[in-house]
Amino acid sequence: MNDSIFNENAGRFLTAKETQSLKEAYRNCKLACGGKEEEYTRSEFFGLDRVKQLLKQAGCVGIRVHYANRWENEDGKPTEVGKGEFKPRVLLTGVDARGRDLGTQPNTGGLKDDGDSGDMVVGDGWTCPKQCAT
C-alpha cells in the first residue's frame, strides 16, 4: 500500500451544490473587486491528449495545478512585461509519489534523446469566458 498523500486517489468528487457554491464565491469576489462579468477568467480548458501525456510520464501518480499570471494581448498571446493585460493562467504538471513535479527540469544529459526534455508542463488552455460553450 502506498502511504504517500501523493497517490492516485488524492482529492474527492464534489457535489453539484458544493461546486456551484465555490464557483459563485469566486465570481462574487471578482465582481466585488471591480471585475466585469465577461472579462474575468473563470476557467481554462485542456484537451484529454495533453492530460494523458502528463499521466504517462514514468512515476506519475497525478496532476498538480499551478496558479500563474502573465502579460497577454487580447488574443491570449504572451507579450512583454507591461504590455497588454496581466492575466491569470494555470499550468499543469505531472507529480510523482514523493510530491515532486515531473517534466519541469531541463535534461542535463546533453543528448537530445536522453529522456525527459523538461517540456512536460501544459499551459495555454482555452479560457472562459472567451472560448466557452454557452
What lies within 8 Å, CB to CB, of 23 at 6+ separation is: 42
Q: Is residue 117 part of a domain?
A: yes
pLDDT digits (tens, 9 = 90+) for 80-92: 999 999 999 999 9
Q: Is residue 36 part of a domain?
A: no
Q: How many domains does the chain have?
A: 1
pLDDT digits (tens, 9 = 90+) for 65-121: 999 999 999 888 999 999 999 999 999 999 999 999 998 876 545 444 444 456 899
Q: Is residue 51 part of a domain?
A: yes
Q: Is residue 23 part of a domain?
A: no
Task: Please spell the DSSP secondary structure of 22-63, one letter per residue.
Answer: HHHHHHHHHHHTT--TTTS--EEE--HHHHHHHHTSTTEEEE
Q: Is residue 58 part of a domain?
A: yes
Q: Is residue 80 part of a domain?
A: yes
Quote the domain boundaries for residue 77.
43-128
Q: Is residue 94 part of a domain?
A: yes
Cell of 18: 458544493
